[in-house]
Structure formats: C-alpha cells, structure tokens
C-alpha cells in the first residue's frame, strides 16, 4: 500500500479508502421488511482491507449499508458495523472519516448542522464507532437554516476537546468552501478534506473545486470512483434486477458514457488490466499530475472486488493514455451533478 499526506496536514492515509455506504446485502429482512446487511461478509471485507494496508475508512451517520435513503430507524448501521469490525485493531493505526447533517430523528433538531445537532451526533457517532475520536468529520451537506459560524465554532470546540481532529466538506458551493476555509483558520480549525464525486463520467469538480483544493491544501476523497460500478463495464450487456444499479442508475447507459467506457476498455486490454483498475488508477494518477492528494473512496461488496481494486495500485497508466482518457471525458467537466446550495449571504459588517 502507498500512503500519502492528506491535504495540508500531517495526516497520512492509504492511497485508497474504503467506503461503507453500500455493504453486501443479505437475503434476510428485518422487522421493517428491509434487507439486512450481510454482516459477516461486511466485517470480512473491512478486515481484508486492513490486511491489504488500507488505513482510511469512510462512513456517515445516516448510512445504513443497504438502504439508499434510510429512515431514522435504519440510520447509524454502517457506523455500527465499522465500529464492530475495527475492534481489536490499533486505533492509532486507522483513520476514520464520518459525516453528519442528515436526518437522524423525526423532530425539528433531528437534522442539520446546529450546535445542538452537531454535539448530539458526534457523541452518537463515537458510540456507534466505539472510538474516542473521529479523525475527519465532514459536513455532509450544507444546512441553509444554520449560520455556518455556529457550526464551525462548535466543531472548533470539539477539536479542542479532542473528539474530532480535522474537518471536511461535502457538496458545498465553491464560494462557501472558501469562506469556511477562511473562517476556520480564525477558530484554529483545520479543514483538510473535500469529499466529492469524481470519476471518468463525473468530472464536475475539475471546473473549480480542484483548484480550491490545490490553493487551500485540501485532500480530495473522490467518491463513486466507479460510478456505482458502471465504469467496471459489468452493466453493459445486462443489468441484474437485484443490483443497486438497476434501481437507480440505468440512465447512466447513454452514448456519451458508452464512448468513455469503450476507451477505458481499449486501454484496459492494452495494459492487461480490468476496466475497474484503469478507472481507479486514472483517478490516482490525476492526483499525482495535479499535485493534490486524491484518494478514491471505493465501495466493495465482494472480497474479489477489493483485491482487484487494491491491485490497481500496481498499474501505471502511461501519460499518453491518461491524455486519451482526459480527452474522452472532458465533456463531463461542465455538467453539474446538482446545483450547490449557497449558505452564506455575504453581509460582511
Ligand atoms: N459524500 C457523499 O455524499 C457520498 C456519496 C456517495 C458515496 N460516498 C462515499 O463513497 C463510497 C463509495 O461510493 P460508491 O459505493 O458509490 O462507489 P463506487 O466505487 O463508484 O461503486 C461501488 C460499487 O462498484 C462495484 N464494484 C466495486 N469494485 C468492483 C470491481 N472490482 N469490479 C466490478 N464492480 C465493482 C460494486 O457494485 P456491486 O455492489 O453491485 O457489486 C460496488 O458496490 C461510499 O461507500 C461512501 O463512503 C460519499
């Protein structure tokens, strides 16, 4: 495994992180008739990741592990499973990232980034993760109902109390990120992470966020590096009805995306690698070329997938192939995956 310095900090993370949004699914259902996570396999995947040298794990308070948008009865499950898997390992050898903001209870303070919610959910995450501190706490999404200064002052106090070490953002407007970075410095808060989608068919962060990361010393946790598995090429001939792709993302199969997939396929053949390996290796190489730490956060539901992804660290894509991939995917730079909500009204006084 290769370890890199993450953002403008002393923190060292593995070049690949393991995400826990989607864990393997079992056929058993719970009392709500929701499929359960295949917990033994999930624990095995996390342990195998550690055996492979991965020290960087991502989760969120709202993640269930199987459900896409969990209700308040199913949230917290991924953090709980991750906490269980990490028992017995040296906590100081691991870097845990989690995220807060999503709905965790059906009352007005059950969602958001208020002081009340942040303090409550950090304490709950610590309990679920069975740890004394969180390495990187991400604000999962903007909360337009809370002054961002309230959130950042609260996070700063939590750093002072040793409950969190660094902070990160996810899905904030580029201008707001700059405001947050500047305000954070005034309260001795180190914001080091940007968690955003980045893959060969979603390059929207190349429009401006990558520059912000470079200028302000942020590491990028590139999520959905395989576009839900699409970039592995496995859905081209058939989308199995039980797959996560079937329910959500069959619209990914369009001529522009297929063109990218064809190019990945051609390069994979030439390099004797898989499409998934080329897609992951491309993201890592882009980080090196741009001189920013970019860590793909991979979702894994089978041990074989994990081994294949870890093996992509041995793949060195020649720069002329990187250029070909850049060219074929350039069109995705200006296609927003969502409109970032603005949270800050610049009433400077
Ligand atoms: N900040 C945010 O809002 C946010 C949003 C989304 C994700 N994330 C983070 O990013 C992580 C990764 O997201 P993601 O799961 O969407 O990532 P992804 O890597 O794009 O997709 C993962 C899926 O790809 C398939 N896959 C993985 N390795 C494969 C291989 N070697 N060959 C073929 N297929 C393979 C698996 O599909 P099957 O399960 O069908 O086998 C797996 O579930 C999440 O767990 C989470 O931690 C953060």
pLDDT of residue 349: 37
User: Contacts for 143-148 with beta carbons within 8 Å, 24 or more apart?
Assistant: 143/101, 143/111, 143/112, 143/113, 143/114, 143/343, 144/341, 144/342, 144/343, 145/112, 145/114, 146/112, 146/113, 146/114, 148/113, 148/176, 148/179, 148/180, 148/183, 148/343, 148/344
Instruction: Tell me if 66 is assigned to some domain.
Output: yes
pTM confidence score: 0.96
In a domain? residue 339: no
Q: How many domains does the chain have?
A: 1
Taking the centre of ligand 1 as the mean of its atom positions, its distance from the CA of residue 300, in whole angstroms, is: 6
Q: Give the ligand 1 atom nearest the CA of 309.
A: 31
How confident is the model at residue 340, as a pLDDT?
A: 73
In a domain, 245, yes or no: no
pLDDT score for 249: 65
Domain residue limits at 16: 3-230+278-314
The pLDDT assigned to 337 comes to 65
174 found inside a domain = yes
Q: Domain for residue 267, yes or no?
A: no
Task: Return the residue whose CA atom lies nearest to atom 31 of ligand 1.
Answer: 305
Ligand 1 site residues, Cβ closer than 6 angstroms = 19-22, 58, 140, 170, 195, 223-229, 232, 234, 243-244, 276, 297-301, 305, 308-309
Residue bearing the CA closest to ligand 1, atom 28: 305
CATH number, domain containing residue 156? 3.20.20.100
pLDDT of residue 348: 42
182 belongs to a structural domain: yes
- Residue 174 CA to ligand 1 center (angstroms) comes to 25
* Residue 240 maps to a domain: no
What are the residue ranges in the chain where pLDDT is below 70? 238-250, 337-339, 344-349
* Distance from Cα 108 to the centre of ligand 1, integer Å: 31
Is the residue at 264 inside a domain?
A: no
């Amino acid at each position: 495994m290769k370890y890199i310095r993450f953002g403008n900090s002393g923190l060292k993370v593995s070049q690949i992180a393991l995400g826990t949004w989607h864990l393997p699914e079992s056929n058993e259902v719970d009392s709500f008739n929701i499929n359960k996570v295949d917990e033994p396999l999930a624990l095995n995947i996390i342990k195998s990741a550690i055996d492979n040298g991965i020290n960087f794990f991502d989760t969120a308070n709202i993640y269930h592990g199987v459900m896409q948008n969990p209700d308040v009865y199913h949230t917290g499950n991924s953090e709980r499973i991750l906490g269980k898997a990490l028992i017995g390992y040296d906590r100081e050898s691991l870097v845990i990232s989690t995220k807060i903001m999503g709905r965790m209870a059906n009352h007005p303070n059950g969602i958001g980034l208020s002081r009340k919610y942040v303090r409550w959910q950090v304490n709950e995450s610590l309990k679920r993760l069975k740890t004394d501190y969180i390495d990187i706490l991400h604000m999962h999404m903007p909360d337009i109902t809370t002054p961002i200064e309230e959130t950042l002052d609260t996070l700063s106090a939590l750093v002072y109390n040793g409950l969190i070490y660094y902070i990160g953002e996810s899905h904030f407007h580029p201008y707001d990120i700059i405001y947050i970075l500047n305000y954070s410095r005034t309260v001795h808060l180190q914001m080091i992470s940007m968690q955003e989608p980045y893959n060969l068919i979603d390059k929207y962060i190349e429009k401006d966020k990558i520059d912000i990361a470079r200028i302000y010393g942020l590491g990028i946790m590139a999520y959905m590096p395989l576009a839900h598995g699409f970039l592995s090429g496995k859905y081209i001939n058939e989308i199995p009805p039980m797959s996560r792709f079937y329910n959500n993302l069959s619209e990914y199969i369009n001529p522009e995306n297929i063109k990218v997939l064809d190019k990945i396929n051609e390069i994979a053949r030439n390099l004797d690698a898989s499409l998934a390996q080329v897609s992951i290796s491309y993201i890592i190489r882009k980080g090196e070329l741009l001189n920013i730490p970019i860590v793909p956060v991979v979702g894994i539901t089978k041990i074989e997938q994990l081994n294949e992804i870890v093996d992509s660290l041995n793949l060195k894509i020649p720069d002329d192939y990187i250029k070909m991939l850049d060219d074929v995917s350039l069109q995705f730079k200006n296609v927003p995956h969502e409109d970032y909500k603005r949270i800050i009204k610049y009433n400077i006084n």
